[in-house]
Amino acid sequence: MISSLSPTQSFSLLPSWLSSSGSGNDPQSLELKDDILILFQAPIHSYVTPSFYVQTKPSTGKVAPTWDYAAVQVYGRARIHHQINEESSAFLQKQIEDLTLQQEAASGREKPWSVAEAPLNYVELLKKGIVGLEIKITRIEGRFKLGQELPDGDWLGAVKGFRSLGTPEGAKMAEMIEERGKARGLDSNIAQGSATD
């Protein structure tokens, strides 16, 4: 399961449980037993050309292309809700209502649809075809590869290079690299000034 999560969101706000659901026709979905891993990737990740490395490339030429990204790995124990009992029915009902509320709000409709508008017996029938997956989180790890290992000149070159692409994705990559590199002690205005040279 892969989902997008902005690296600027606070991971401490993640609930201690994650929930999802899948098709009840997939027998594989009933065989999850032990620890599982869920990967959340930042919506923007990118190939990094060695041309951005304005310090190392001219001095040694020892550069290679790479890929920059931000991801969070969430580990936990899976609990499958597939039997029609009170506990699973309540769990699935909440998941259906929460997902519907989220998607209806995202649609921008003036009067969002609600699960309560569907006949109860119809919703109960649909729940028989859903397998719910509940995950008790045991560990969260962040993985960031955003140029933090580069010499200062190459790091600034990557910020400038991504900004010079003139695309929303390039601007976001530059922002992510810059944000992650603040620990370097470089003034972000220097990087912005370099991008306009």
Q: Write down the pTM of the prediction.
A: 0.62
The DSSP output letter for 29 is: G
Q: Architecture of domain 2-84+128-195 in CATH?
A: Roll (2.30)
Residues 155 and 168: beta-carbon distance below 8 Å? no
3-class DSSP state for residue 168? helix
C-alpha to C-alpha distance for 88 and 94, rounded to whole angstroms: 10
| pLDDT confidence band for 167 (50 / 70 / 90) | very high
**β partners of residue 130:** 23
3-class DSSP state for residue 104? helix
3-class DSSP state for residue 136? strand
In the predicted structure, residue 187 carries a pLDDT above the cut 90: no
* Residue 8 φ/ψ, nearest 5 degrees: -85, -10
Predicted local distance difference test score (pLDDT) of residue 126 = 92
Predicted confidence (pLDDT) per residue in 21-44, tens digit: 555 554 433 446 678 899 999 999
In the predicted structure, residue 138 carries a pLDDT above the cut 70: yes
C-alpha to C-alpha distance for 87 and 79, rounded to whole angstroms: 12
3-class DSSP state for residue 157? helix
3-class DSSP state for residue 13? helix
Which secondary structure element, helix H or strand E, spans residue 4, and what is its range? strand 2-4
Domain ranges of the chain: 2-84+128-195, 90-127
The whole-number average pLDDT for the span 102-123 is: 94
Average pLDDT, the chain: 82
The whole-number average pLDDT for the span 113-137 is: 92
Q: Please give the residue that has the higher pLDDT: either 1 or 134.
A: 134
* Other Cβ atoms closer than 10 A to 164: 14
| pLDDT confidence band for 78 (50 / 70 / 90) | confident
